[in-house]
């Protein structure tokens, strides 16, 4: 799994016949991503030591008072140490039919520098090239390794009911129609239908919703859910390979391979630029001597100067560095972006889809309203808190938290919790009933029809209706501002994808002015909806926080996880992580992406403009080797300094 994600997901930009140095670095790094951490550390340490070793040899050649032969040997050693890999790749790609790539241009330009005696230039070009590659590799290494937390929802065993009794078997051995026993605290091993028993299921791993779902005879249950209270007998309806938990894991693996590609500007440019300058240099070297009395050595020298000027070092180094700077600036704002392609993709967003619970809302339930009848609201809350005294249900916990007083359990008797309905208990010799409409109807108590944003808990004392309490998941304070800011930034298609009911999800969406709402969704449903949006051509971002969101996070062009409270699986599956759990950070990310793109285009125009000027000067013999060095190394340094401005960007 880790290899699939590291290799596929982070190599998602299209290529022509050439392979850029950045991509080569990413390919090499992706191959190490599936290896143990010590192997990846070794890769980076080796690369860094190669650069430092080359610098040391170069410094010795420049400053040491040595013989010309020994000095040349040091230059060659420094050159081969830092550029040997580039030379090898140039030769390898020639045999593969990919002649005109960056490795080839770098090789002939630097070899040319040695031919005309400019050893320092030859080594320096390779050195800058490798430093830029190292920075890009560091950025890519932040990408995810594997979604190990997803393995936690995979069931390890199943209690199979057989003629000879209960047998514990592997879920793979269970067939459709078999009967399984699911005990309290265990995961449901396979999808099925309850044929005996009642309970509440924790489905948060599947739907992301914190409130347990009541189940009884005839209800559908999904693998990966946790049985909270009662003993269930489940008839299997799907095999292990088709079960929900298995599908979620498969979706994450396959979704990574479907990621839309991000075009790599350097690669596309090099596809045309490299062969053009090589043929121009050849023409410059041989055509004038053929048709005039000019010497081959003079025009050969001009051709080599031309090649040195044309070396795209400024672009190769500054463009990845600009994106790396954007990633660094984002991290200072609590935004972890796992690759430059995801930062770039923020510029082309057309759709932003939100999960509800834990993303737009806190994911923690609290009492938002208590409306008593025939008593004070405080008294109603007291009765409910005492009745819910022994329950571990999140609603019960929120009611006790709202009561804020110690509970004397000695005055509670005849306590009975009815799964999926509510609680009946005696408090100070008074019968108290709290729960949903069903339990009230069972006891012949009429209750009003309450429509509210949240779960309605009715209460009755001594057979008479006493009022209701609304327990709701509160909307985060920055959610409305985040939605409004996205609209101001030109993103019109804002969508909510939720596992909650249509009523609750719709109410939250209406309050936040989100127009499109899809509710009661399983993970595969979210993936299908996002895939439909992907057909529109524009980039699609999804923001979620739960393990259930991992497949759709992987499938989206930009998967964004809420890092502070989000699940490990969501964080590892995501391309971007908001470490402060503020959904409003998406506006910050978009602004940083736009600023980064601005810097990138400044560097592109600067590098190409100056190089075009000096290429003309070099072709006519006006520019000497010193101008060539400026056009290459000097422009590179200017571009790098400009790229560093991104690091100080303010959102």
- The set of catalytic residues is 355
**Alpha-carbon distance values, 573 to 29, 224, 372 (Å):** 18, 18, 46
CA distance 548 to 149: 11
Report the length, in residues, of the chain: 651
Contact of 575 with 147, CB cutoff 8 Å: no
Helix/strand/coil for 421: coil
Classify the phi-psi angles of 489: left when phi > 0, otherwise alpha if psi is within -120 to 50, otherwise beta.
alpha
- Full strand arrangement of the beta sheet holding 213-215: 213-215, 199-202, 226-227
Three-state helix/strand/coil letters over 58-106 = HHHHHHCCCCHHHHHHHHHHHHHHHHHHHHHHHHHHHHCCCCCCHHHHH
User: What is the bridge-based pairing of β-strands 192-196 and 220-221?
Assistant: antiparallel
Contact of 209 with 504, CB cutoff 8 Å: no
Closest CA to 544 of 354, 364, 362, 365: 354
Contact of 188 with 155, CB cutoff 8 Å: yes
Closest CA to 104 of 118, 122, 92, 117: 92
Residue 399 token pair? 């009611």
CA distance 33 to 408: 57
Collect all residues with Cβ–Cβ distance below 8 Å to 410 and sequence separation of at least 6.
none
Collect all residues with Cβ–Cβ distance below 8 Å to 175 and sequence separation of at least 6.
236, 239
DSSP 134-160: HHHHHHHTTS----GGGGGGS---EEE
What stretches of 347-478 show up as alpha helix (H) in DSSP?
377-387, 394-403, 437-442
CA distance 357 to 647: 33
Contact of 201 with 228, CB cutoff 8 Å: yes
Three-state helix/strand/coil letters over 489-530 = CCCCEEEEECCCCHHHHHHHHHHHCCCEEECCCCHHHHHHHH
Contact of 574 with 561, CB cutoff 8 Å: yes
**Alpha-carbon distance values, 462 to 383, 389, 399, 425, 465 (Å):** 11, 18, 20, 11, 9
Q: Which residue has the tokens 């509670």?
A: 412
DSSP 202-251: E-HHHH---SPEEE-TT-EE-TT-EE-SS-EEEEE-S-GGGSHHHHHHHH
Q: Which residue has the tokens 């062969």?
A: 275
Residue 21 token pair? 């140095």
CA distance 217 to 198: 7
Angle at the Cα of 535 (from 245 to 241), degrees rounded to 5? 20
Closest CA to 243 of 281, 201, 198, 192: 192
A 10 A CB-CB count for 26 gives 27
For residue 357, give the DSSP letter: I
């Amino acid at each position: 799994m880790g290899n699939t994600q590291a290799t596929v997901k982070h190599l998602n930009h299209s290529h022509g016949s050439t392979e850029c140095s950045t991509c080569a670095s990413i390919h090499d790094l992706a191959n190490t991503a599936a290896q143990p951490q010590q192997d990846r550390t070794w890769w980076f340490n080796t690369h860094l030591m190669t650069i430092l070793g080359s610098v040391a040899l170069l410094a010795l050649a420049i400053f040491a008072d040595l013989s010309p032969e020994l000095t040349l040997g040091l230059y060659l050693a420094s050159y081969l140490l830092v550029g040997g890999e580039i030379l090898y790749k140039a030769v390898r790609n020639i045999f593969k039919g990919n002649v005109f790539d960056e490795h080839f241009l770098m090789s002939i330009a630097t070899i040319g520098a040695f031919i005309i005696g400019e050893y320092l230039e030859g080594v320096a070009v390779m050195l800058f090239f490798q430093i830029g590659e190292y920075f890009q590799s560091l950025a890519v290494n932040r990408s995810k390794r594997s979604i190990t937390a997803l393995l936690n929802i995979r069931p390890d065993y199943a209690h199979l009911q057989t003629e000879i009794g209960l047998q514990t078997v592997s879920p793979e051995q269970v067939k459709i129609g078999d009967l399984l026993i699911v005990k309290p605290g265990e995961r449901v091993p396979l999808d099925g239908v309850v044929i005996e028993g009642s309970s509440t299921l924790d489905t948060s791993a599947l739907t992301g919703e914190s409130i347990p779902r009541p189940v009884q005879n005839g209800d559908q249950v999904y693998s990966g859910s946790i049985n909270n209270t009662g003993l269930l007998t489940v008839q299997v309806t799907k095999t292990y390979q088709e079960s929900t938990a298995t599908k979620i894991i498969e979706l994450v693996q396959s979704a990574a391979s479907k990621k839309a590609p991000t075009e790599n500007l350097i690669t596309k440019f090099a596809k045309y630029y490299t062969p053009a300058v090589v043929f121009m240099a050849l023409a410059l070297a041989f055509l004038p001597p053929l048709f005039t009395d000019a010497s081959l050595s003079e025009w050969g020298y001009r051709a080599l100067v031309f090649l040195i000027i044309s070396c795209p070092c400024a672009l190769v180094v500054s463009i990845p560095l600009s994106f790396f700077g954007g990633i660094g600036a984002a991290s200072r704002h609590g935004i972890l972006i796992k690759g430059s392609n995801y930062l770039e993709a923020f510029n082309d967003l057309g759709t932003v889809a939100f999960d509800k619970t834990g993303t737009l809302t806190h994911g923690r339930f609290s009492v938002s309203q208590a409306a008593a009848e025939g008593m004070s609201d405080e008294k109603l809350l007291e009765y409910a808190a005492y009745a819910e005294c022994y329950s571990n249900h999140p609603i019960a916990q929120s009611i006790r938290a709202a009561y804020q007083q110690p509970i004397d359990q000695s005055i509670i008797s005849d306590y009975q919790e009815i799964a999926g309905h509510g609680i009946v208990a005696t408090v100070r010799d008074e019968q108290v009933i709290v729960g949903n409409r069903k339990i009230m109807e069972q006891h012949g108590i009429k209750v009003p029809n309450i429509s509210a944003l949240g779960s309605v808990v009715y209460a009755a004392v001594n057979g008479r209706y006493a009022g209701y309490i609304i327990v709701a998941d509160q909307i985060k304070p920055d959610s409305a501002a985040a939605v409004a800011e996205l609209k101001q930034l030109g993103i019109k298609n804002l969508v909510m994808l939720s596992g909650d009911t249509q009523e609750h999800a719709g109410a939250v969406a209406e309050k936040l002015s989100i127009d499109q709402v899809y509710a009661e969704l399983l993970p595969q449903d979210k993936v299908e909806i996002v895939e439909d949006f992907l057909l529109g051509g524009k980039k699609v971002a999804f923001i979620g926080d739960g393990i259930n969101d991992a497949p759709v996070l992987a499938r989206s062009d930009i998967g964004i996880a809420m890092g502070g409270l989000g699940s490990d699986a969501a964080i590892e599956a995501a391309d971007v992580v908001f470490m402060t759990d503020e959904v409003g950070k998406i506006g910050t990310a978009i602004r940083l992406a736009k600023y980064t793109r601005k810097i990138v285009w400044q560097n592109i125009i600067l590098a190409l403009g100056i190089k075009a000027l000096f290429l003309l000067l070099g072709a006519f013999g006006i520019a000497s080797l010193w101008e060539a060095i400026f056009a290459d190394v000097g422009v590179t340094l200017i571009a790098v300094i400009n790229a560093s401005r991104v690091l100080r960007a303010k959102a």
